[in-house]
């Protein structure tokens, strides 16, 4: 546990507003939102400026006190939960919540780490632009966390993950120095890409204090379609067809099994299938135009789908007739997680494989898992165009004690699914990161060259190990 006299030093640095020590105020921030990980921290440090972050980190380095950076605390992998032994303090960026600049001309927003994603969405809309990354937690997730976890979402197909959207980063390195990489240079060959190193580092190399983010034109017109197909392979053929026909306008392409759709229709009142025919697989497509050119997205999507019917790829299809219908189509997609959860206990995997191998993976891995673990049902849904699906293995029907089932089988099922992913040339973490949840599996499965590269970088930046300890880097016994 950290001495009160040490906390007092931070208080004299940051003032009373900058240090939270009331256990009741701290409690919500010492567990992850899913309730899987529970830690302890004697204080939350909340600096209000980059200079204060730098001074805080320098002081922590002096004392050898570990820091766990936190934005909205919405990690899916326990990445923002402090260690249980109280050996670290939480460093909250929530007071650094200014949008420093916002330029429609430059298509650029410079945001401090604590800016909440939905606040940026609104601000960008206010100047006729948008920030093209969104996810369920947008009302809590912060820019610092999104940068530090290289967040994804449903618009990656067209706009990429945070790696593609961050044009500059300001960060405090573990020695307290400020890395000022905020100038948004489209070309910069001054050596190693420190910016990309900080993106997705999960706070283990330093504290991201601000980022310059790329904005794109507002959507002028969109079309949302729903297509029934026979197999994931046909879904991929459809993706290739619409990409060839509609190019960069394809913003969303989500694949859903009919059984999964059934969960939504049974669980969410007022939902109905967008198409009449019952097909084994479904695709949700969104096509966006930045301008009002003719033909518009609906006509273009319709023409592409006519082609898909002709080639026997599509079985049935519907294009939303208005915005309300478009929202209803998307509501199905957005209700998948909740509806699946209502079916009972399940293990969920956020994985990626090369796009071309995904259709076979979706079928084969599910069948193999069901055969290996009798009674379970496995299926996947998600971002086929990114080679990223959420793969779920549900407990046998009637399993009432979820935690007990996970305790008994979780380890074996994790290993089975991850082995299948690695065999398909994929990644055991597509967009959620490693945190503490996947650390041991990363250690088990990554190549020695990758593990030693990760460790070497970590040791080089953070020789004292004070930055988000226990996250991302496999422990010595884990690799």
Residues numbered 88-117 forming contacts with a copy of itself, rule: CB under 8 A: 103, 105-106
CB 172 within 8 A of CB 57: yes
Candidates 227-235, 314-322, 329-337, 349-357: pick the segment binding a copy of itself (CB under 8 A).
Answer: 349-357
Q: Report the SS3 class of residue 115.
A: coil
Does 263 contact a copy of itself by CB under 8 A?
A: no
Tell the smallest beta-carbon distance from residue 286 to a copy of itself (Å). 17
Beta partners for 179?
171
Q: Which CB sits closer to a copy of itself, 93 or 446?
A: 446
Part in contact with a copy of itself (CB under 8 A); list of ranges 19-27, 320-328, 393-401, 425-433: 425-433
Cβ neighbours of residue 476 closer than 8 Å, sequence gap 6 or more: none
Which 3 state secondary structure label does DSSP give 92? Answer: strand
Among 70, 92, 142, 149, binds a copy of itself (CB under 8 A): 149
Interface pick for a copy of itself out of 186, 277, 476, 477 (rule CB under 8 A) = 186
Residue 290 CB, nearest distance to a copy of itself (Å)? Answer: 6
Question: Does 24 participate in binding a copy of itself (rule CB under 8 A)?
Answer: no
Is there a cis peptide before residue 295, judged by omega within 30 degrees of 0? yes
Q: Which residues inside 190-229 make contact with a copy of itself, applying CB under 8 A? A: 190-194, 196-197, 199-202, 205, 217
Judged by CB under 8 A, does residue 146 bind a copy of itself?
no
Residue 105 and residue 217 in contact, taking contact as beta carbons nearer than 8 Å: no
- Residue closer to a copy of itself, measured from CB, 217 or 344: 217
Residue 178 near a copy of itself by CB under 8 A = yes
Site for a copy of itself in 276-335 (CB under 8 A): 290-291
Q: Is there binding between residue 152 and a copy of itself (CB under 8 A)?
A: yes
The DSSP 8-state label assigned to residue 321 in this structure reads S
By beta-carbon proximity to a copy of itself, the closer residue of 284 and 389 is 389
Nearest alpha-carbon partner for 409 in 397, 432, 393 = 393
Strands 66-70 and 88-92 turn out to be parallel
Residue 45 DSSP class: E
**Which contacts (CB < 8 Å, 24+ apart) does range 7-16 have?**
7/42, 7/43, 7/89, 9/59, 9/63, 10/43, 10/45, 10/56, 10/59, 10/89, 13/52, 13/55, 13/56, 13/59, 14/45, 14/46, 14/47, 14/48, 14/52, 14/56
Nearer to a copy of itself, 29 or 461 (CB): 461
Q: Which of 10, 179, 329, 349 touches a copy of itself by CB under 8 A?
A: 179
């Amino acid at each position: 546990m950290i001495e009160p006299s040490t906390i007092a030093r931070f208080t004299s640095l940051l003032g009373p507003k900058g240090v939270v020590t009331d256990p009741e105020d701290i409690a919500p921030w010492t567990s992850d939102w899913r309730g899987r990980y529970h830690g302890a921290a004697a204080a939350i440090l909340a600096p209000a400026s980059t200079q204060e972050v730098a001074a805080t980190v320098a002081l922590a380095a002096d004392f050898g006190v570990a820091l766990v950076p936190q934005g909205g605390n919405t990690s899916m992998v326990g990445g923002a939960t402090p260690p249980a032994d109280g050996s670290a303090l939480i460093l909250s960026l929530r007071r650094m919540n200014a949008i420093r600049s916002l330029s429609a001309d430059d298509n650029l927003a410079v945001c401090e780490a604590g800016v909440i994603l939905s606040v940026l969405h609104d601000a960008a809309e206010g100047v006729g632009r948008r920030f093209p990354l969104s996810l369920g937690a947008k009302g809590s997730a912060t820019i610092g966390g999104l940068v530090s976890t290289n967040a994804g979402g449903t618009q990656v197909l067209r706009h990429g993950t945070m790696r593609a959207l961050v044009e500059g980063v300001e960060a405090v390195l573990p020695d307290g120095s400020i890395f000022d990489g905020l100038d948004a240079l489209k070309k910069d060959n001054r050596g190693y890409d420190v910016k990309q190193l900080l993106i997705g580092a999960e706070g283990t190399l330093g504290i991201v204090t601000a980022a310059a983010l790329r904005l794109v034109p507002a959507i002028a017109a969109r079309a949302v379609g729903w297509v029934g197909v026979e197999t994931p392979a046909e879904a991929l053929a459809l993706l290739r067809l619409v990409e060839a026909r509609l190019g960069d306008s394809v913003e969303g392409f989500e694949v859903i099994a009919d059984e999964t759709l059934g969960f939504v229709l049974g669980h969410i009142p007022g939902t109905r299938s967008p198409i009449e025919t019952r097909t084994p697989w479904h695709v949700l497509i969104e096509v966006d135009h930045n301008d009002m050119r003719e033909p518009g997205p609906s006509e273009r999507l319709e023409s592409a789908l006519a082609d898909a019917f002709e080639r026997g790829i599509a079985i049935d299809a519907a294009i939303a007739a208005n915005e309300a219908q478009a929202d209803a189509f998307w509501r199905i997609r957005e209700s998948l997680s909740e509806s699946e959860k209502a079916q009972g206990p399940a293990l969920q995997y956020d994985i990626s494989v090369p796009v071309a191998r995904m259709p076979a993976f979706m079928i084969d891995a599910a069948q193999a898992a069901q055969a290996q673990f009798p009674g379970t049902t496995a299926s996947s849904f998600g971002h086929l165009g990114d080679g990223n699906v959420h793969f779920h293995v549900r407990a046998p029907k009637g399993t009432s004690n979820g935690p007990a089932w996970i305790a008994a089988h979780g380890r074996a099922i994790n290993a089975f699914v991850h082995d299948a992913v690695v065999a398909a040339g994929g990644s055991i973490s597509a967009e959620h990161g490693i945190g503490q949840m996947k650390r041991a599996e990363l250690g088990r499965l990554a190549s020695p060259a990758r593990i030693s590269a990760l460790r070497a970088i970590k040791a080089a930046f953070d020789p004292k190990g004070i930055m988000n300890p226990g996250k991302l880097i496999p422990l010595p016994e884990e690799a």
